[in-house]
Amino acid sequence: MDAESATSWRNHTDERLRDAGHRRGGARQAVVELLSRQRCALSAQEIDDQLKGAGTAVGRASVYRALEQLAELKLVARVDVGDGVARYEPTRPGGEHHHHVVCERCGRLEAFEDEELERAIRRLSGRLRFAVDEHDVTLRGACPRCR
């Protein structure tokens, strides 16, 4: 996420949390700050590890609670890439999003954007006469290092 998007998401998130009656600070704020700097989805374990590595004293249960609250408010999206581990990433206020490619050998996860894919999904939605509110695409295969 670029700096402008990160700031926009953080501000939007702070506002939504305030409107929902949550106070600023603590574990939730640490999770928000960390997620705002990420390019792609992280598991609760990865978030906890990164916070501890940065010297932020937050318990794992607090990380899970924060993610649950953020997900309930649709401020983060839960990403499932098929390995049984839930990952989380910011839901951008403008609806911009990306998809994922995952290496089935080493587990490497990368984000990608493709406007042609987005147009194809919009066309398919029209053909099916189905109002698609959101979607995610995960491609699986072997990364360049594992091929």
pTM above 0.85, yes or no: no
Whole-number Å distance between alpha carbons of 110 and 91: 17
The pLDDT value given to residue 121: 94
pLDDT by residue (tens digit) across 44-65?
A: 999 999 999 999 888 899 999 9
Q: What span, in angstroms and rounded, lies between the C-alpha atoms of 24 and 17?
A: 8
In this prediction, residue 39 carries a pLDDT of 81
Alpha carbon 111 to chain centroid, angstroms: 10
The predicted pLDDT at position 119 comes to: 95
**Domains present along the chain, CATH in parentheses:** 3-90 (1.10.10.10), 99-141 (3.30.1490.190)
Task: Report, as ranges of residue numbers, the positions in the chain whose pLDDT lies below 50.
Answer: none
